[in-house]
Structure 1
Amino acid sequence: MADERFQGAAVNPPTKRRTSIYNKEYFHQYFHQQSSQLLEQIERLHEFSLVGGERQDAIEHVLGGITDLSNYVADASDQISSYDKRVYSDGIRILEEKLRVTQSSIAPNSKFKFVSRLKDDFAPASNVLEDLSLRLTHGTPQGLETASPGEVSNVTGFTRSPDEKDSCGELPLFPRNYNQEISKADGVRKPSFSQATKIDLSDHKDMHIILPPPASRATSMGTVTKLSGSIVDMSIPTTTKTPFASLVIKDIRNCLIVGGQVAGSAHITSVMESIIAVSAGQIRIHDCEDMKFYLYSTSPPIIENCTNIQFAPLPKCYLGPDQDLDANKWDQVQDFNWQKTEHSPNWRILPEEDRLAENIWTDVVPGQLGVGLVETKSKIGLK
C-alpha cells in the first residue's frame, strides 16, 4: 500500500528466503525490524479512513507482512535452532493477536469484540517483542538447540513448566497443505486448520466442506477462491468471539458459502449462481451475477458491476447472542453503478417465500447421514 504512514527503512531479505546459518545475526535483525514495523503499523490503523476502503487496504497490508514474515521463518526452519523457532513463533503469534484486538477496537458500530487469547497480565506487545529480541541476542549463543523447555519462559509474561504444552502451538516445520488433504478425502471434509494462522480454501469442485471448532485459531483472515458446485460452512469456528478479521470470496460458481462472522470487511468478487450467508462490519460485492445473499451488516452493503442480486437477512442460527437485529442494514444496499433516484434494477429483496427455511441451514447445510452432495445441493437449490 502506497501510504507514507506505512513507509520506513527496512532490512531487505535476501533474494531467496532460504537463509544460511552464517546469516543468523542478519536473520534476527531482519525479523526484529520487520516485526517492530508491523507492530507500529497495527498501532496506527485507527488513523486510516473507512472511506474508499483505505483502512481495509492498510489492514491487508499488515496481514500480508505478517504472512511474509511467517513464511520467511518457515523457509529457514531447518537451519534455526529449536529455541529460536519457539521465539520467532511467539513473536508472530503476538503480532497476529495484536492485529485481532486492534481490528475489534476500531471496527465501526461493532456489536461484538474480539476476546484476546492473550492473558490479561501479558506485557504490552512492544515490550514483548523487545524481550524476544533480547532473548535471541543474549539468550544462549551457539548451542541453542540444547536449551531446555523450562528456559522458554517469560516470552509473553508467563512461565511454562517443562512438561506444559503451548496451547497455541508452534510454527510447523513443514506447513500442511490443507487444500491437498481436502481433495483426497471422502464425504464431508472437515479440515482442522490447527497448524495454520488463516483459512485458505481454493481450487475445489463438488466438495462439501465444514470447518470444525479447532479452525478458530486460524481466523486472522479467510480466503475462499476458485470453487464450483460446492458447499462450504465456516460458521462453527467463526463465532462473535473468534470472527475472521477479514474475508475474501472470489471466483465462485454454483456454490453455497456460509462465511460466519467477520469483524471487518467481507469482499465478494466474481461470484455467479451462488448463495452466500455472512455477517460482517462491511460487505462489498463486485462483478457478481444471479446471486442470493443472506446478510448481517452494520453498514450498507455495496454492490458494483452486479446484476440480478437478491438480499435477505442472515438466518437466526448464524447470529451472535449480542447482535442487534435493528442494527442490521442488509436491505440498505448501495449500487455504485446506479446514481438515479429510483431503485436500482440490479438488486431486489428476496421474497420470504423464496428464502431457505431455517431448518435447511441447521440440518441440511451441515450434512445429513446417508445424504450425498448431489441430494444436499438439490435441497438447497443449487444445480
Structure 2
Amino acid sequence: MNFIHDDEAASSADDAVIGERLLSRMQQRTQEREQRSQQRRDQVTNRNTELENDDAFLTSFNEMKIKLEEDLKNVTQRSTADKSELESCFEKMTRDHGLIQQYINESSMFLSQYLLKRSQESLASLDVEIRNKMSEMIPKKRFGFRGRSNLPPKTAVTPDVVDSASEVQRNSALEQLLEKNFYGFRDLSSEKLTLNAAEVHNRQVNLVNLIDCTVTILGNPGGMQAAGLTNCTVVVGPMSRSAFIKNCVDCRFVLACQQVRIHDTKDSQFYLHVTGAAIIESCNNVGFAPFNLNYDQLDEHYTSSGLDRSINKWDKVDDFKWLNSEEKSPNMFLIPEENRQTEWLTST
C-alpha cells in the first residue's frame, strides 16, 4: 500500500509541475499579447504625434514664409527708395530667412522626411528669389568703356562672365548681411567670455572655434549653436528653444532647453534640463547629468523661457547611430553622482 501511495503522490507532483508549466506558458502568452498590444498602441501614438508635429510645424512655417514673401513683394514695389533703405529691407529679409532656416533645423528631428525635404526646397527657392532681387535692386558698379564703338569684338564681356560675376555679387552681398547677424563669440582662445540677460534675451547665441575658453551666459537666450569648441566650459541659462552642438572635444556644457542635438562630439559632458528630445549622432564618450546651475535670476529666466521645470529627460538620450534597442549605446554614459561638477560659477 505504501508503494501505491508513493506512486499516487508522484503522479500528483507531476500533475502539479505540468499545471505550473501550463500556467507559466499562459502567463507568458498573456504578457506577450499585452506587449504586442502596447507596441501597436505606441505605434499609433507615434504616428499621431508625428502628424501633430507636422501640422504644428507647417502652420508656423507657412506663416513665417508668407510674411517673408510679402516683404519681398513690398520691397519690389519700392524701386524709388534710396540704397540705404533698400539695404535695410534686404538685411531684415535675410535675418528672417535665417530664423526660418533655424526653425527647420530645430524641428527636423520630429518631422517626417517628406515634409522636411519639402520645406527645405521651398525655403531654398525663396532664398534664390531674395538673392536675385537684391542683385537687381542694389547693383554693384561695373567698370566699362563708353563712346568707343570701334573696340574690337574680342574685348566684349561674354554672357557667362556676366552671369558668374552676378552670382559672386549676390553671394557676397548675402554673406555680408549674414555676417552682420552673427551674435556670440568665435575664433578665440584662453578667454573668459560673458553675456548678460539683457544682451541675450530671446536671441540666438553662436559659439564658433573656441579653445580653452569659459563662456557664461546668465539669461534667457532663444537658442544656441556651438561648433568647433575644444576644452571649453559653456554655462547657459534657460533657453526658449533648442541647442545644437557639433564638432566639440573635451568640453563641458550646462544647458536648459526644449531640445538638444549633439553631432560629432567626443570626450565631453552635458548637464541638461531638456523637456523634449536629447539626441546624439556620431559621438563618442559623452556623459550626461541633470542641470545643476544656480544663480539669483534663475527662476525669473525659467519663467521667461517657458520651460517646464517638472520635466527633465536628461537621462533619456537617443543615439541615432546605435540601432540595438536591447543594449545601451557604448557612445554615452550617465555621470555618477559623486563625479558630477556642481560649482560652475565659482570655477569661472
Q: TM-score, normalised by structure 1?
A: 0.47
Higher relative contact order (CA 8 A, sep 6+): 1
Structure 2 residue 238 is matched with structure 1 residue 254: no
Q: Determine which of 203, 217, 224 is the counterpart of 1:220.
A: 203
Q: How far did residue 267 of structure 1 move?
A: 0.4
C-alpha distance after superposition, 1:226-258 (max 9, x if no partner):
0011111012xx2xxxx2222100000011011
Q: 1:292 to 1:201 in 2, by over 3 A?
A: same
Partner of 1:314: 291
In the superposition, relative to structure 1, how do residues 280 and 23 fare at CA in structure 2: closer, same or farther (>3 Å)? Answer: same
Please give the alpha-carbon distance, in whole angstroms, between the structure 2 residues aligned to 1:48 and 1:272: 22
- 1:253 is paired with a residue whose SS is coil
| 1:202 counterpart (182, 186, 194) | 186
- How has the CA–CA distance of structure 1 residues 300 and 271 changed in structure 2, closer, same or farther, with 3 Å as cutoff? same
CA distance in 1, matches of 2:89, 2:108: 32
The answer to whether the Cα contact below 8 Å between 2:106 and 2:242 also exists between their aligned partners in 1 is: no
Higher helix share: 2
Give the TM-score of the pair, scaled to structure 2: 0.51
Aligned counterpart, 1:334? 318
Alignment of 1:1-383 (within 5 A): 5=62, 6=65, 8=69, 10=72, 24-25=81-82, 28=85, 50-52=107-109, 199-216=183-200, 219-235=202-218, 238=219, 243-317=220-294, 319-320=298-299, 324-341=308-325, 342-357=327-342, 360-365=343-348
For the 8 Å contact 1:281–1:298, the answer to whether it is kept is: yes
Amino acid at match of 1:354: N
How far, CA to CA, are the matches of 1:325 and 1:293 in structure 2?
A: 17
User: Matched residues in 1 for 2:194 and 2:95: separation?
Assistant: 32
CA RMSD, Structure 1 to Structure 2 (Å): 4.8
Task: Supply the AA of the counterpart residue of 2:214.
Answer: I
CA contact (8 A) 1:11 1:33 kept: no
Q: State the SS of the aligned residue for 2:229.
A: strand
Q: Choose 1 or 2 for highest CA Rg.
A: 2
CA distance in structure 1 between the partners assigned to 2:242 and 2:231 by the alignment: 23
Q: 1:215 to 1:338 in 2, by over 3 A?
A: same
8 Å contact 1:306–1:346 — kept in the other structure?
A: yes
Identity, % of aligned positions:
23
Q: Deviations over 1:321-369 (max 9, x none)?
A: 5555430111110100011121111111001111112xx223222xxxx
Structure 2 CA distance for aligned equivalents of residues 296 and 198 of structure 1 = 26
Task: Give distance in 2, aligned partners of 1:56 and 1:259.
Answer: 29
Q: How many residues get paired? A: 220
Report how far residue 31 of structure 1 moved: 5.5
Provide, for residues 76-108 of structure 1, a one-character-per-residue CA deviation record: whole Å limited to 9, x for no partner: 9xxxxxxxxxxxxxxxxxxxxxxxxxxxxxxxx
> Structure 1 335/27 Cα, relative in aligned 2: closer, same or farther at 3 Å?
same
Provide the C-alpha distance between the structure 2 equivalents of 1:38 and 1:202, rounded to a whole number of angstroms. Answer: 19
